[in-house]
Amino acid sequence: MMINFNEFQHMNIEHIFGPSHQEVDNLAFHSKRVEPKSAFFSIKGETFDGDYYIDEAIDRGATVIIGTDPSLFQYLSYRNPYCTFVVVKNIRKAMASFSKFFYDSSDENIKTIGVTGTNGKTTVAAYVRSLLTLLGLPTGSIGTAGIWSSGRKLEYKKSTPTTPESLDLHQIFRDFHEMNDEAAVMEVSSIALDQHRVDGIHFDVAIHTNFSEEHLEYHKTIDHYKECKMRLFKQAKNKVVNIDDKGMGEDLQKNCKGPMITYSIDSNPEADLNAVNIEVMEDGSFFELIYEGKSYSMYVPVYGTYNVANVLSAIGTALHLGFTIQEVIDVLPALQGPEGRFQVIQTSNNQKVILDYAHTPVALNRLLEEVKKLNHNRLIVMIAGIGIRDFNKMPKMAAAIEGKADEVVVTVDHPGYHDPQIIVDQVLTGFQQPSAPNVHTSLTRKEGVLKSLELGQENDIILLTSGCINNAQIVRGEEIPHSDEEIIENYFPPVVQ
């Protein structure tokens, strides 16, 4: 499309060097993804500076460069007079605004649901996608489990593990709309909110799951972490809030205006949705749903009391979008969850291998409570230090597991630019007895999975936790293919029928 940047007010432009009119056919913030007639956004990240890649972007065909350094852009415009250099005050705000414009505000053509919380975002997003699609509102999802349309998983090169950059987000919204999906549910991380990735999106529903310490390597303080999460609800028409959560639930009730549905699994009399008499079985959960003074007997094919809470958040979302409670109840038995969340694999040795990528102390504790309800002989648990996350959290993962498993394997997820041994050593500081004979270590996730499987015996449960993202391990900026399921499948001999 032809753009006159003198008339383009969305980005709060401070200066333009070079031609004011330019044809733009593509958007990129990574120089390797630049195509001819691209607009390149020069973003400064934690480990890179986009200004260093402007020459490469121009060599690849970029004709518009958007950034924040006027002196650099003035110099570059002399060398590249055919290019347009646009100076803005905030590059991420500008990218969000321009991306929405470029992709025809596709987010406004569908229902948008944002999910935030320390734990449960991936599961809730999957439940919402499944429930709304079952109700006849085809819904896609965006988050840690990948990009899914209402019908299948889509192939995207994701820009971040959880919430994509705004440029990618608006392209995904456009693609959903063109595939006739009528809604999109997305995980919205605190970092994404702070980095303006969802600026300009007016969510139809915002969901709060829970709040506990996380991402302090980025936010530095717990107050900044909370403040960022609260921002989502300022740009949402309707809210769904976990009233049991002491960390942020009360803040949202006090400070948010507009329609709100609250939910509880702790029999909170103030909750709009209450799940009581919860009975967890190996193939699902039964509970009694209390809504508007009426009681409904429910079955959902999900495991764990905390997942019943996640189901309630999906129910609240459907109610906000105009569906009746009876319509919801009728389809709940067909609800589907996400990949890698309490995913049980039965082995030929009568073992259960459970994949659940819990990566916070709170999530790990909740998971252990539910796993121990299953029949088993011994419990083998793999935990990991995540190199791209907060180092201060690593010892807390060790403290959460100590004394609760027969064997513990400590490994590494996404070492990033760190030495894996340093990450493992940091986790070990959380054990009172790090040299105990039942504590084992490995320096890659693959080795950790194999060690866990080797330790397993008949009737054992092998629990593989932590944050394996998008079937890859992030090592020195590269995504190395990795699949727990593939390792497990190759380890056990096929069952002869």
Structural domains in the chain plus CATH codes: 2-101 (3.40.1390.10), 105-334 (3.40.1190.10), 343-491 (3.90.190.20)
Q: Parallel, antiparallel, or unpaired for β 62-67 and 21-23?
A: unpaired
Q: If you average pLDDT over each of 224-233, 343-352, 421-430, which comes out highest?
A: 421-430
Q: What is the DSSP letter of 433?
A: S
**228/356 Cα distance (integer angstroms):** 26
Q: How many CA atoms lie within 13 A of 358 on its CB side?
A: 29
**pLDDT (0 to 100) of residue 34:** 95
Q: What pLDDT digit, counting tens, does each position of 228-239 carry?
A: 888 999 999 999
DSSP string, 185-235: EEE--HHHHHTTTTTT--EEEEEE----S--HHHHSSHHHHHHHHHHHHHT
**pLDDT (0 to 100) of residue 373:** 86
Q: What pLDDT digit, counting tens, does each position of 96-146 carry?
A: 999 999 999 999 999 999 999 888 889 999 999 999 999 999 999 998 888
Contact predicate 342/336, CB 8 Å: no
Which residue did the predictor score with more confidence, 471 or 480? 480
**59/34 Cα distance (integer angstroms):** 9
Burial class (CB in 10 A: 0-12, 13-18, 19+), 2: exposed
- Is the predicted pLDDT of residue 484 greater than 50, yes or no? yes
**pLDDT (0 to 100) of residue 494:** 62
Query: Residue holding tokens 């969305």?
Result: 10
Per-residue pLDDT band at 217 (split at 50, 70, 90): low
- Is the predicted pLDDT of residue 218 greater than 70, yes or no? no
**139/126 Cα distance (integer angstroms):** 10
Q: What pLDDT digit, counting tens, does each position of 363-399 carry?
A: 899 899 889 988 899 999 999 998 877 788 899 999 9
First to last CA, the chain: 59
Average confidence (pLDDT) over 467-471: 67
Q: What pLDDT digit, counting tens, does each position of 293-350 carry?
A: 999 999 999 988 889 999 999 999 999 999 999 999 999 999 998 877 788 888 888 8
- Phi–psi pair at 81, nearest 5 degrees: -65, -20
**pLDDT (0 to 100) of residue 479:** 81
* β-bridge mates for residue 206, sequence order: 114, 239
- Is the predicted pLDDT of residue 216 greater than 60, yes or no? no
**146/472 Cα distance (integer angstroms):** 12
Which residue did the predictor score with more confidence, 363 or 213? 363
SS3 labels along 460-485? CEEEECCCCECCEEEECCEEEECCHH
- Is the predicted pLDDT of residue 44 greater than 50, yes or no? yes
- Is the predicted pLDDT of residue 171 greater than 50, yes or no? yes
Percent of the chain with pLDDT over 90: 68
- Is the predicted pLDDT of residue 496 greater than 60, yes or no? no
**pLDDT (0 to 100) of residue 226:** 84
> Which 3 state secondary structure label does DSSP give 430?
coil
Least confident of 77-81, 219-223, 353-357: 219-223
**pLDDT (0 to 100) of residue 291:** 97
**pLDDT (0 to 100) of residue 49:** 87
Two tokens, residue 249: 């639930």
Per-residue pLDDT band at 497 (split at 50, 70, 90): very low
Percent of the chain with pLDDT over 70: 96
Contact predicate 313/273, CB 8 Å: no
Which residue did the predictor score with more confidence, 404 or 471? 404
**297/325 Cα distance (integer angstroms):** 12
Angular region, 222: left φ>0, alpha ψ -120 to 50, beta rest: alpha
Q: What is the DSSP letter of 496?
A: P
Helix pair 361-371, 305-320: axis angle to 10 deg: 110
> Mean pLDDT for the chain?
91
DSSP string, 388-417: TS-GGGHHHHHHHHTTS-SEEEEEEE--BT
C-alpha distances (whole Å) from 93 to each of 45, 83, 198, 290 are 14, 22, 9, 43
